[in-house]
Amino acid sequence: INQLYGPLNWFGTYYRMIQQNFIDMEKMLLLFKEQQSVKDLPDATELKVTDGSVIFENVGFSYDPRHPALNGISFEIPKGKTVALVGPSGGGKSTILRLLFRFYDADTGRILIDGQDIRTVEQESLRKNIGVVPQDTVLFNDTIYYNIHYGNINASEVEVHKAAKAAQIHDRILNFPDGYETRVGERGLRLSGGEKQRVAIARTILKQPPIILLDEATSALDTTTERQIQYALAQMTQDRTTLVIAHRLSTIVNADLILCIKDGKVVEQGTHDELIRKAEENGGDGIYYEMWQKQIKDESEGKVIVENEGSS
Ligand code: ATP
């Protein structure tokens, strides 16, 4: 009898892992439909995206009732704009992304996309409209072509190449032993972190979702790769509503709004210039200001570990 429960437990564990890490979600979600903690309402409707504007309205959520993870989170991302989430570890940044993708439903408050409460829409229609770029992308043991094409299985070869070019990975692929037919992943060519992230960006460019969730990689990259990633991210997020857990200074500085998340609350918000100016008026007081100063100091002291392209 225990053997019967084995696989189910395994599914459960695996599903929680996916919830945590956003691993290959769309495909896995189909496989694990029965395991989802969130169910469509009987009268769920299809999400109709016109602008892709996102509103969090007084959102509260806890994994464990004794420790609320989010408490009264409110913000808006107008059509095509970028909101960057920053703040200390455990503050609630990933939870905000998970709620928008509806891995969980908010306990209090509402999340609206173009005026529709996401709790009332079909999950499939929600996820079709959201592209996710995780920190660490898992590649399929298949060709690099397959791995990008997966973003939109109806795309033509020309479109796949165009997406790879925009994501700054096309030239690199042409230098692989079998070009686009090169097998990658655990049993094939191992890609570096910077390459894997550009594959994820190419997938998302191919998918063309109106809304993007991005968990930026923390690893520092050499200057050339950093510039390529920046360009690729700009191509991907251009005119798309973007919610990003930001680690790269360029992303933070260019964001339309920065939310500093601590203990499940928005403790500071504004553009980079606004937050710096406000802190300077207060004699350098402010979480964002301190983070910024530390980042500048770490970089000038060379504390940032640089990952070399192709080193892994
Ligand atoms: P980091 O920068 O380290 O990724 P974060 O700001 O993204 O942190 P979250 O991962 O959203 O923070 O976590 C917010 C709070 O919720 C933390 O107290 C964390 O311990 C808790 N938490 C996160 N995931 C779970 C889970 N699956 N079960 C229980 N508690 C969780």
For residue 177, report the distance from its CA to the centre of ligand 1, in Å. Answer: 41
| Predicted local distance difference test score (pLDDT) of residue 283 | 85
Please list the ranges in the chain whose pLDDT falls under 70.
1-36, 220, 302-312
> Best mutation site among 17, 62, 93 for ligand 1, i.e. most ligand atoms within 8 A of its Cβ?
93
**Ligand 1 center to 199 CA (angstroms):** 27
* Nearest CA, atom 14, ligand 1: 92
Q: Residue of the nearest CA to atom 21 in ligand 1?
A: 69
CA gap 108, 296 in Å, rounded: 38
Mean pLDDT of the chain: 85
Q: Is the pTM of this model over 0.95?
A: no
* Residue 9 pLDDT: 46
- Compute the distance from residue 103 Cα to the ligand 1 centre, in Å: 14
**HEC assignment per residue over the chain:** CHHHHHHHHHHHHHHHHHHHHCCCHHHHHHHCHHHCCCCCCCCCECCCCCCCCEEEEEEEECCECCECCEEEEEEEECCCCEEEEECCCCCCHHHHHHHHCCCCCCCEEEEEECCEEHHHECHHHHHHCEEEECCCCCCCCCEHHHHHHCCCCCCCHHHHHHHHHHCCCHHHHHCCCCHHHCEECCCCECCCHHHHHHHHHHHHHHHCCCEEEEECCCCEECHHHHHHHHHHHHHHHCCCEEEEECCCHHHHHHCCEEEEEECCEEEEEECHHHHHHHHHHCCCCCHHHHHHHHHHHHHHCCCCCEECCCCC
Ligand 1 pocket mutation, candidates 21, 63, 213, criterion most atoms within 8 A of CB: 63
Determine the Cα–Cα distance for residues 189 and 185; give it in Å rounded to an integer.
6
Distance 57 CA to ligand 1 centre (A): 20
Contact 306, 221 (CB under 8 A): yes
Residues with CB under 6 Å of ligand 1 are 63-64, 67, 69, 89-95
> Which residue's CA is the nearest one to ligand 1's atom 2?
89
pLDDT at 19: 55
Alpha carbon of 200 to ligand 1 centroid (Å): 23
Residue-wise pLDDT for 243-292, tens only, equals 999 988 888 999 999 999 999 999 999 999 999 999 998 888 888 999 88
Q: What is the pLDDT of residue 193?
A: 85
Q: How far is the CA of 171 from the centre of ligand 1 (A)?
A: 38
Ligand 1 centroid from CA 201, angstroms: 25
Q: How far is the CA of 63 from the centre of ligand 1 (A)?
A: 9
Q: What are the phi and psi torsion angles at 110 (to 5°)? A: -140, 155
Residue to probe by mutation, ligand 1, list 94, 100, 215, 263, most atoms within 8 Å of CB: 94
Model pLDDT, residue 68: 94
